[in-house]
Amino acid sequence: MMVPALTTPARRLALGALALGMLSATACSAPEADNSGSEESQSGPAPAEVRISPEDGAADVRPDLPVTVETDNGTITDVQVDTAGRKNTGANKTTGTLDDDKTAWTSDWTLTPGTDITVTATAENAEGKTTEVVSEFSTKPAVEGQRLELESNFPTSGQTVGVGMPVIVNFDLPVQNKAQVENSMEVISEEPVQGAWNWFGDQMVAFRPKEYWQPNQDVTVNLRLAGVPASEGVYGIENHQLNFTVGRSQISTIDSGTKRMTVERGGQQIKDFPTSIGKADVRKYTTTSGTHLTMEKYKDLVMDSSTVGVPVDSPEGYKLDVKYAVRFSNSGEFTHAAPWNDQLGEANLSHGCPNLANADAKWFYENTYMGDPLVVTGTDRELEVDNGWGYWQRSWEEWLANSETGEPDDTGEAGTPGSPLSNAE
């Protein structure tokens, strides 16, 4: 699904002069002109001239400046940008945009810092004769301590996830040039949607589609971070590609009023569990209402009240071994088995976690993907957008407004809403 080197991404001849032979006039009549043997007609159109920037032999080239190719007397037919020691494929493939008359080409992506780059450009004149020009240059290295690196990401390659799953990227250094970094990260899905990135602090950014992903499809994320100027003097140093699968659609709902948890798969209800959620006598024991996403799960987990600010030896303290725990927020909320609770479906008695019967908790644990939506209704504590993966708490209009680019990204097309490149100073 990558873009060929000479294909313009969907999100974004003059002939040499021929001298005419001149004939001398006579007092009688001039014979018909015959230029078949002239030097100009034998040589034909002038060859195409090709110019590449950066020029051959250049050193310490800023990696965030574009590579350009221009031609006179012809059209550009091929441009290849190769980085020493790397295959020109996947997230490392440097594609470019060709103008309408095919006389100018500009790279789409930044270059890897501290490497040798070879640009090979080919053009042909009106008669199809080719000219090939090569430029070899080196890029400025990233300074130690100022190299932006990928610290972690969710999901990871090879995972199957739920239809609500965002793409989450954590960096090791703060990012100030957020729009350029957004524009270096390309999301492509088999079923096209609109999506956008939102930042949560300076080191974490999350992508979500306008609506849930269509189920049963593959998604590719090209993190073209190498050479992106993240902050003053800070450059990304490595490209990455993520490949994950969106699985079946499973959406669960917990109703505080009915004290039931229902599970729908493909729009059809398949499970109905009695539950008991937070007793809500104080805020911290109130289950958050809103659209959550399942984040991680544990077959066995120690739940310790001290992690949410309640000492274990206090009247409300606890330290319990629980089974089949599925996290859905960062404020300590899990679905889990609670064999000690004999009022499932009758009363809300927990410290905030939805309690389930052992068999029901086991089923949910075994049948949950990371990123499955779990909706809680009926409590007076609203889920915060940054509490876990509460990203669906923002409307699409709010989410798009919080994107640094302010424009939707079409995942059915190569490219991003803008360019990660900088302007030459």
Question: The tokens of 298 are what?
Answer: 């544990």
CA distances from 108 to 47, 99, 179, 203, 335 (A): 28, 13, 15, 24, 46
Encoding tokens for residue 164? 């609500």
Residue located via tokens 């594609």:
95
If asked whether residues 283 and 380 sit together in one domain, one would say yes
Assess whether 379 and 255 both reside in one domain: yes
Q: Specify whether 296 is located in the same domain as 210.
A: no
CATH number at residue 178: 2.60.40.3710
How far apart, in Å, are the Cα atoms of 181 and each of 62, 178, 234?
16, 5, 12
Residues 275 and 163 in one domain: no
- Share of the chain residues as helix, strand and coil, in percent rounded to the nearest 5: 10, 35, 55
Give yes or no: residues 256 and 359 share one domain.
Answer: yes
**Active-site position among 240, 292, 351, 353:** 353
Q: Could you tell me if residue 125 is inside a domain?
A: yes
Say how many domains are in the chain: 3
Domain membership of residue 270 (yes or no) is yes
Pairing of strands 250-255, 373-377: parallel
Residue 22: the pLDDT is 30
Are residue 289 and residue 376 in the same domain, yes or no?
yes
Query: Is 206 a member of any domain?
Result: yes
Q: Give the per-residue pLDDT at 43.
A: 63
Question: Is residue 211 situated within a structural domain?
Answer: yes
Same domain membership, residue 323 and residue 264: yes
Judge if 318 and 336 occupy the same domain.
Answer: yes
Look at strands 290-293 and 296-304 and give their pairing.
Answer: unpaired
**pLDDT of 319:** 80
| Residuewise pLDDT in 10s, the chain (425 residues) | 333 444 444 444 232 332 323 323 323 233 344 444 444 445 678 999 999 999 999 999 999 999 999 999 999 999 999 999 999 999 999 999 999 999 999 999 999 999 999 999 999 999 999 999 999 999 999 999 999 999 999 999 999 999 999 999 999 999 999 999 999 999 999 999 999 999 999 999 999 999 999 999 999 999 999 999 999 999 999 999 999 999 999 999 999 999 999 999 999 999 999 999 999 999 989 999 999 999 999 999 998 877 777 787 777 777 889 999 999 999 999 999 999 999 999 999 999 999 999 999 999 999 999 999 999 999 999 999 999 999 999 999 999 999 999 999 999 999 999 999 998 55
231 domain-assigned: yes
181 lies in the same domain as 243: yes
Is residue 346, in this structure, part of any structural domain at all?
A: yes
Q: Is 353 a catalytic residue?
A: yes
Phi, psi of 350 (to 5 degrees): -85, 175
> What pLDDT score was predicted for residue 309?
76
Q: Which residues contact 148 (CB under 8 A, 6 or more apart)?
A: 171, 172, 173, 175, 225, 228, 230, 231, 234, 235, 236, 237
CATH at residue 115: 2.60.40.3780
Rg (CA), the chain: 30
pLDDT at position 207 is: 98
pTM given for the model: 0.87
Specify the CATH number for the domain of residue 316. Answer: 2.40.440.10
Give the dihedral sign, CA 134/135/141/146. Answer: negative
Q: Domain of residue 351: give its range.
A: 250-387
Whether 78 is in a domain gets the answer yes
Answer yes or no: do 128 and 166 share one domain.
no
Domain boundary among 103, 138, 173: 138
Instruction: Report the C-alpha gap between 408 and 387 in whole angstroms.
Output: 24
Per-residue confidence (pLDDT) for residue 424, from 0 to 100 = 56
For the sheet containing 334-337, what is the strand order?
296-304, 319-327, 334-337, 355-356
Name the active-site residue from 240, 292, 336, 351: 336
Which of 115, 138, 161 delimits the end of a domain? 138
Is residue 376 a part of any domain in this protein?
Answer: yes
pLDDT, position 14: 31
Q: Is the same domain home to 370 and 293?
A: yes
Residues 305 and 189 placed together within one structural domain of the fold: no
pLDDT of amino acid 42: 54
